[in-house]
Amino acid sequence: MCEHAAWSATIVAVTLAPDPRLADSALLKAARGERPQHTPVWYMRQAGRALPEYLKVREGIPMLDSCMNPELITEITLQPVRRYGVDAAIFYSDIVLPLKAVGVDLDIKPGVGPVVAQPVRTLADVAAIPDLTPDQVPFITAAVRALTAELGGTPLIGFAGAPFTVASYLVEGGPSKDYARTKALMFGAPEIWRALMSKVAGISAAFLEVQVAAGASAVQLFDSWAGAVTPDDYRSFVMPYSAQVLARITSVPKIHFGVNSAMLLDQMGEAGADVVGVDWRTPLSWAVPRVGERAVQGNLDPTLVFAPTEVMTARAAEVIEAGRAARGHIFNLGHGVIPSTDPDQLQRLTEFVHSYPLA
């Protein structure tokens, strides 16, 4: 990462003191269970995918390279904030980036996803994975400091993959539809599973700690594949390690999100979340009673942005109304922005959410 050292040095003087305007952030108020001035809104995967300006700056640059360049991280993270006026920026990164930073041999193959050269099979494989230290990710500190200076009163949400999802890539060697190797290890070699999950939990926690130390105002722990396990198996094999990550983040609100996780929402909250993300398959009215005294985030079906505007906004209104029953509500899609989404439609959705009366 030496090519970024000089750039990093130029922002060392940026203050780490929080911008006083953050105290009035609608998103942070909702996360804390306070009453915001409007329903806050941001979109998972807003930093990229559908934006033409993102495609332009990323042209010819491999995904992981873009995630290790502080100038690109900063620009891409800011793009949706400039365009939409959303209530938070989500740090531009990738779930497997911390593994790359500690030396795991992996790459993101276009059209495939993360591919690991030597999948984990043994305790020795786990032991060979180093822990993450801040000096391995100076580009993260540099980018976060630059972002918080630019964002002012708009919060930056830190990003990390949850242990189960990250471990599944390490075990499967790449994306999977059935997670057969992951579950075989989990059920058949629990000692290896525990060692791997503890290792990944430490890496994810350290990655979030770097972002918070540099100025992130909240964090989100993404467990994209958590819905692949039953509630009992989640409690035994997954939840303790997500809890390890969240327990290390003590100074900012914590959002915990999983896909296909309706039956896990109570446990995802118990793991230490202040805000529980709800995907689009689960009615928010059903989810709110299950997360206890926690805020919720979500959960418009991402495909509704392809519907006529009046249909999209009518469904968004239903989500906002259902969110009133929660301790706090942050509007979001029920997962990420689909790459073919029309940015103008997301702009209209943002404006609708902001203008929707809370009284």
Which residues are marked as active site?
45, 49, 58, 94, 169
Tokens of 138: 């100076």
DSSP 132: P
Q: Do residues 260 and 227 make contact, with C-beta atoms less than 8 angstroms apart?
A: yes
Query: For residues 225-239, b (16+ Cβ closer than 10 Å) or e, as one string?
Result: bbbbbeeeebeebbb
How would you label 26-55 residue by residue, b for 16+ Cβ within 10 Å and e otherwise?
bbbbbbeeeebeebbbbbbbbbbbbbebbe
Cα 196–Cα 197–Cα 201 angle in degrees, nearest 5: 120
Strand partners, 222: 161, 257
Q: What is the C-alpha to C-alpha distance for residues 276 and 292, in angstroms, rounded to an integer?
A: 10
